[in-house]
Structure 1
Amino acid sequence: MRSSEIVIYTDNGNAPVSKLVGTACTIGIQSFISNALFDLSGKCTLEMDWPLESSLKNGDIPVAKEGGKRKILVALGGEIFTSRVWQACSENMGGFVEALVDFIKDNQFDGIDIDWEDSEALTARNYDAVAFLSDLTLALRARLPAPDYVITHAPQAPYLDKAWQGGPYLEVMKRAGSALDYLNIQYYNNPWWVGDSGSEQAAKVAGTTGSPAFATSIVGLVEQWLPVEKLLVGKPTTAQNAGSGFLDTPDLCHDVIAPLVQKYGSKFGGVMGWQLAESPSSPDLALDWIASVARTLD
């Protein structure tokens, strides 16, 4: 029987994924591949941010797996990955995929998380974002077969809203959802799609209150045909890890997670936390958050 996932990111050199040892986390994500450069032939060279580079130098990836207890993915993108670079990736898909697959296998990762946040492309239309994300996912899956490798995406909540630029990730899921394991949906930093209080987030994040369900909530997305087992509630682990959307852990568990567990049981995809450290530079870890979420999912 499947169980709901607990996914934890880290993008802090003081808190590499190896610090997940001993926790209930089932998938750890080390961030970020932060840039891609292409020569005239289309060959791609990937660049890393310092936390990812440090984790590789220190041998954190195999340690973090804890003898097979969890999968460890590498994150691609994030807010510093520019629209110009995403466009270049779309124009050199073969070289880009080759570089990503080599990076994953050479560094003993169990897959990849695609953190595409290029809202600019949806208005500038400098490349076809939906086609790119769909084709990238399918090409990676062809080289990284399941279940040995995991492929996730981390869309912001508006990307799943038909009323916002057509809901680009709804179309990505139609085209490439079969090749994708999970959506780590970012329910933060977009106040209209998230809410503030526990009761607001019960409606806008969980979707277990209000009728009809809020469109980008978990219940709302399931009602639009997305499989609940692929949908994860992504939340900041502390107020310092996001501009908005943080909910105190007891309220998060009571108002958002527990109602989804009650409604869907172990079919519910799970919960994602950004991030392991209590702030982008803190050495202190959000271990109590992970433990509380795990108890609520159990």
Structure 2
Amino acid sequence: MVHTYTVALLLGLSAFRGMLCAPLGDASPALDTFNSTSLGFFARATPSPPHFVIYSDRRVSGLTGPPPVAQVKGYNVFALSFLLTEGAFDKAEEWTQLSSSQRSSIKSQYAAAGIKLIVSLFGATDAPTSNGADPIATANTMAAWVKQFNLDGVDVDYEDFDAINVGDGKAEAWLASFTRQLRVQLPQGTYILTHAPVAPWFSPNKFGGGAYLQVHSAVGSLIDWYNVQFYNQGSNEYTSCAGLLTTSSNTWPRSALFQIAASGIPLSKLVIGKPATSGDASNGFMSTSTLAGCVQQAKSQGWNAGVMVWEFPSAAAAWIQSVRSLAFPE
């Protein structure tokens, strides 16, 4: 996924990363605590599939923070993007600019509509492993931010391609340590914790450190689901139902949906991610009608994890209504 204020060209598994970030400041301790009998616990409990996830990074004139719930009807997770190692940017930053009462009001409206509000971490402009960020300290700081600003959880959009491509296992170990510490601070069943890997990172024997097959082996039980990015990986990658669902190309072998599941990733955790328009990604775009047909086909074969889209406002209520229409009509 691409940070709004950084010009990025994603070619294959490369990404340009900007370094100009706002300071995070001192994150305060958790402002709210929950136990298994509190209403707060049930309000935050991890939702069951299908998951319909929309990211929001782009500034929208006249709008600070998330849009009115009517504009995102049909989704059940809204991801404010991004919280970086050096601070909150774009929609995540906008969330901090609202007053506590404004955030509380928005949160209540989203909860009433069945939509969880989370923050997405890192994105294409952050390279935490390559830049030497400490995974434990970073997890602690980011989890404190989530608690301070009363969100439902996090999405780990790790795109440190250089670290994965080195193949020495350090990126995978970093992600495992980071995820474990997030779970210390953001307990499972109380907070959502998702990851958003690119689909090729599930290709067996393609990366020396194992990429996301290794991450899943180490900490998959702590991750609620994967918002898999089936885009930005080549002009002909994941653009047909067959390529998306059953038979990926030789470039990224065994990285189609059901092939990933065959490698041991639970099918119920594999959310199909796509760009809203051809302009929202370098490649991998599908029309809503084509994607709806693929989603219907996948559901007929036992999949029900859901769909992710990058990003609002290119995608909104009408987009997800179309994509859900054949398999998950409202």
Normalised by the length of structure 1, the TM-score is 0.82
The separation in 2 between residues aligned to 1:67 and 1:250, in whole angstroms, is 29
* Alignment: residue pair count: 270
The separation in 2 between residues aligned to 1:64 and 1:52, in whole angstroms, is 18
Which residue identity lines up with residue 240 of structure 1 in the other structure? G
Partner SS, residue 170 of structure 1? helix
Q: Write out per-residue CA displacement over residues 261-280 of structure 1, whole angstroms, 9 at most, x where no aligned residue.
A: 1111xx521110111112xx
Q: Write out per-residue CA displacement over residues 130-153 of structure 1, whole angstroms, 9 at most, x where no aligned residue.
A: 111111111111221122201000
Please identify, of 136-145 and 104-113, the stretch whose mean Cα deviation from structure 2 is larger.
Answer: 136-145
What is the percentage of aligned positions where both structures have the same residue? 26
1:187 corresponds to 2:230: yes
What is the match of residue 79 of structure 2?
29
Partner SS, residue 82 of structure 1? coil
1:17 corresponds to 2:59: no
Q: Is the 8 A contact 1:10 1:274 kept in 2?
A: yes
- Give the drift of 1:246: 0.6
Q: Is the 8 A contact 1:4 1:297 kept in 2?
A: no
Which residue identity lines up with residue 99 of structure 1 in the other structure? T
- Give the drift of 1:13: 2.0
What is the match of residue 51 of structure 1?
91
What is the match of residue 146 of structure 1?
188
User: 5+ residue gaps in structure 2?
Assistant: 1-46
Partner SS, residue 112 of structure 2? coil
- Give the drift of 1:2: 4.3
Please identify, of 201-210 and 99-108, the stretch whose mean Cα deviation from structure 2 is larger.
Answer: 201-210
**For 1:262, which of 300, 307, 316 is the aligned residue?**
300
- Give the drift of 1:192: 6.8
Normalised by the length of structure 2, the TM-score is 0.74
What is the match of residue 270 of structure 2?
231
The separation in 2 between residues aligned to 1:252 and 1:287, in whole angstroms, is 16
What is the match of residue 276 of structure 1?
312
What is the match of residue 282 of structure 1?
none
- Give the drift of 1:26: 0.8
**For 2:279, which of 236, 240, 247 is the aligned residue?**
240
Partner SS, residue 193 of structure 2? strand
Change (3 A) 1:67 1:122: same
1:161 corresponds to 2:209: no
The separation in 2 between residues aligned to 1:243 and 1:209, in whole angstroms, is 18
What is the match of residue 42 of structure 2?
none
Partner SS, residue 218 of structure 2? helix
Which residue identity lines up with residue 13 of structure 1 in the other structure? R
Q: Is the 8 A contact 1:9 1:276 kept in 2?
A: yes
Which residue identity lines up with residue 55 of structure 1 in the other structure? W
Partner SS, residue 312 of structure 2? coil
Change (3 A) 1:263 1:97: same
The separation in 2 between residues aligned to 1:33 and 1:276, in whole angstroms, is 17
Change (3 A) 1:142 1:85: same
**For 1:115, which of 157, 166, 174 is the aligned residue?**
157
1:134 corresponds to 2:176: yes
Partner SS, residue 93 of structure 2? helix
Please identify, of 157-166 and 69-78, the stretch whose mean Cα deviation from structure 2 is larger.
Answer: 157-166
Q: Write out per-residue CA displacement over residues 18-74 of structure 1, whole angstroms, 9 at most, x where no aligned residue.
A: 3444601111110001233xxxxxxxxxx1113321133234551562426121110
What is the match of residue 253 of structure 1?
292
CA RMSD of aligned residues (A): 2.6
Q: Write out per-residue CA displacement over residues 207-234 of structure 1, whole angstroms, 9 at most, x where no aligned residue.
A: 1799xxx611111011111101111100
The separation in 2 between residues aligned to 1:176 and 1:154, in whole angstroms, is 14
- Give the drift of 1:85: 6.2
Partner SS, residue 58 of structure 2? coil
Change (3 A) 1:221 1:67: same
Partner SS, residue 132 of structure 2? helix
1:75 corresponds to 2:113: no
- Give the drift of 1:126: 8.6
The separation in 2 between residues aligned to 1:290 and 1:249, in whole angstroms, is 8
Which residue identity lines up with residue 204 of structure 2 in the other structure? K
The separation in 1 between residues aligned to 2:205 and 2:109, in whole angstroms, is 40
